[in-house]
Amino acid sequence: MKGWARGAAAAGLVVVAVLLTGQAPAGSARDEVLPVLGTELGALPAGPMKALADQACLHCHSSDMIRQQRLTEKQWTAEVTKMAGWGAAVPDDQKDALVAYLFAHFGPDNDGFHPVVAKPIAP
């Protein structure tokens, strides 16, 4: 086995160990300041459409994917329409309210997003 293949195989085993046990193997390099793998990301903000946004969006996306957006109302309308076409469960009579919720919280003036940085998994 070539050197790069051995390294890739070893890294794969570390990933499998972490996934199975939830912990990195003894002796693994870890940064104790960063949150552990699996840290829950921020929630969507409270509002009348939060429950629908949680149900329709968070099956496929992390809340960070949504929270980092800075889309105009027209762009949110196109995004909701596109995602509904791809299977997001957004009732037609609630699309406008969902767009209003997303635009109000994640429009062009959105400057409140701060990503969560997780600990790397290293052999």
Q: Write out the DSSP string of 35-56.
A: PPTTPPPPPPPPSTTHHHHHHH
43 in the same domain as 18: no
106 in the same domain as 85: yes
**The total number of structural domains that make up the chain:** 2
Residue of higher predicted confidence among 2 and 122: 122
56 in the same domain as 94: yes
The answer for residues whose C-beta is within 8 angstroms of residue 10's C-beta and 6 or more apart is 123
- The pLDDT assigned to 106 comes to 95
Contact 53, 102 (CB under 8 A): yes
Residue of higher predicted confidence among 35 and 69: 69
Does residue 93 have a pLDDT over 90?
yes
112 in the same domain as 54: yes
Q: Residue 8 is part of which domain span?
A: 1-30
44 in the same domain as 24: no
This model's pTM is above 0.85 = no
Instruction: Tell me how far apart the alpha carbons of residues 55 and 51 are, in angstroms, rounded to a whole number.
Output: 6
Does residue 82 have a pLDDT over 70?
yes
Q: What is the pLDDT of residues 22-63, one digit of tens each?
A: 555 555 555 566 666 666 667 899 999 999 999 999 989 888
Does residue 1 have a pLDDT over 60?
no
Where are the extended beta strands (E) located within 11-108? none
